[in-house]
Amino acid sequence: MTQRYCVFGHPVGHSKSPLIHAEFAHQTHQTIEYSAIEAPLDDFAGAWRRFVEGGGRGANVTVPFKQEAFALCDTLSHRALRAGAVNTLIVGGNGRTYGDNTDGMGLVRDLAYHRVAVKDARILVVGAGGAVRGLLEPLLNEAPAAVAVVNRTAAKAEALAADFSGLGLITGGGFETLAGSYDLVINGTSASLSGDLPPLPDDVFAKRAWAYDMMYSSEPTVFLQWAGPRGARLLDGLGMLVEQAAESFFLWRNVRPETSPVRDLLRKSLDY
């Protein structure tokens, strides 16, 4: 019997997840149906319940429902608990809902795919929202020399750093606290979607540093357009999207797909 999966979002029509998971299923000979569902802003829990009642077995969850997905779960993974957000839902054999967060693992695997050194690196993470919270534990587990989190509201960055201080050297503050250069600068804000730039100094990149924007589009994001002339090597979040999806697929189907061909297909679909 064909098992049903989906991605929930609002809006969700632009999502590449159906394409990604169709490719994963074809590649691994899995018989699944994967769709995009635009859940009502005021009734995500109801949308999930109706999906499960209709035979749904699991889902990806995107903006703006990751915290609501967290709240409805009966059981949560360690990394979901750390992140305070869920992007992967699974219906267990007992009908209970299990929640996980694969975003941070997706980032780390994308960095590894591009041979970006994280161990012993000085890393700057811009932003202190849910997206950043989801990536900090997997990032710190890779043993960087230090991680600095900066945000327009300094208190949010400070609180985030305090929450993860047991995992490695991590500091938080406002943009005015920045000093020195970094080997990897990750834009974890959604500023690129509105064409805005975080107020970073021109000398923020060390020699041969990487600039990573968690957003992606058919053209380089504003952040990457700014970083390139300042000597940084550039990566966007398309690979992270594919890698976090592969981790979700593995959780659902217990088979790990190859991500390289799906990366290539997705990049071509953007006409990048």
CA distance 205 to 257: 34
For residue 44, give both structure tokens.
């995500």
CA distance 191 to 189: 5
Our CA angle for 99, 80, 31, nearest 5°, is 40
Residue 272: its pLDDT value, please? Answer: 43
Among 181, 184, 206, CA closest to 117: 184
Instruction: Tell me the whole-structure pTM to 2 decimals.
Output: 0.93
With bands split at pLDDT 50, 70 and 90, how would you rate the model's confidence at 194?
confident
Among 132, 159, 272, CA closest to 216: 272
Q: What is the mean pLDDT of the chain?
A: 95
Region of poorest pLDDT, from 1-15, 20-34, 104-118, 184-198: 184-198
With bands split at pLDDT 50, 70 and 90, how would you rate the model's confidence at 271?
low
Q: Is 267's pLDDT higher than 70?
A: yes
With bands split at pLDDT 50, 70 and 90, how would you rate the model's confidence at 196?
confident
Q: Is 5's pLDDT higher than 90?
A: yes
Catalytic residue, chosen from 66, 119, 207, 268, is 66
Span 140-154, average pLDDT: 97
CA distance 80 to 103: 10
Question: Residue 68: left if φ>0, alpha if ψ -120 to 50, beta else—which one?
Answer: alpha
Share of the chain residues as helix, strand and coil, in percent rounded to the nearest 5: 40, 25, 35
Span 113-117, average pLDDT: 97
Q: How far is CA 263 from the centre of its chain?
A: 15
pLDDT in tens, 28-43: 999 999 999 999 999 9
User: Hunting for tokens 């924007």 — which residue is that?
Assistant: 213
* Whether 16 is catalytic: no
